[in-house]
Amino acid sequence: MRIALSTDHAGFEKLKQLKEFLSSSGHECINYGPTSFDSDDDYPDFIRPAAEAVASGECEVGIIFGGSGQGEAMTANRVKGVRCAVYYGSAKAVDAVDVSGSSAADEYEILRLSKLHNNANMLSLAGRFLNNEAIELAVSIWLNTNFENEERHVRRIAKIDGENS
């Protein structure tokens, strides 16, 4: 899979390690920057080109980092055709029910739902909240989950993208 990668200074080191992990798993990674650490960088300068690569089909998905991941996701979601989910770390729903209807949902269900129901094509990771082991597990779960392609989800995504108002 061809994956767009990008970050700001807060995720710079973690992105390098993620790229190694993804490459060793057989993925082609395109790094949209930054190429050197600068604590004064502006994340939109790097996140937007990664999001545009996903929207255009140049990359199949994108994984981006920030301190919280919020601003990065907001930037990515400004690009038409991008659906970027934010992930801070494991969490369990108050009324945990997994997507199959079982009550055995685990703390990664939110990652699965972002793909199963929303067909997220970008994932924004909170670099200050996740260690490398958690990042690798989260990314593996997210990449290995496929969109359900049910009519209701397709309809909703079309509305997000402005295709059916």
CATH of 2-160, one of 3.40.50.620, 3.30.450.40, 3.40.50.300, 3.40.1400.10: 3.40.1400.10
Q: What sign has the CA pseudo-torsion 153, 117, 87, 133?
A: negative
Whether 72 is a known active-site residue: answer yes
* pLDDT, tens digit, 9 for 90 and up, residues 81-122: 999 999 998 776 666 555 555 445 678 888 999 999 999 999
* DSSP three-state, residue 147: coil
Choosing from 117, 136, 148, 153, the catalytic residue is: 117
Domains of the chain, residue spans: 2-160
Query: Mean pLDDT over residues 22-30, rounded?
Result: 97
Choosing from 9, 27, 52, 72, the catalytic residue is: 72
Whether 60 is a known active-site residue: answer no
Please give the radius of gyration of the chain, using alpha carbons only, rounded to the nearest integer. 15
Q: Would you give the end-to-end CA distance of the chain in angstroms?
A: 32
Label residues 76-109 b or e (16+ Cβ within 10 Å = b).
Answer: bbebeebbbbbbbeeeeeeeeebeeeeeebeebb
Q: What is the pTM of this model?
A: 0.91
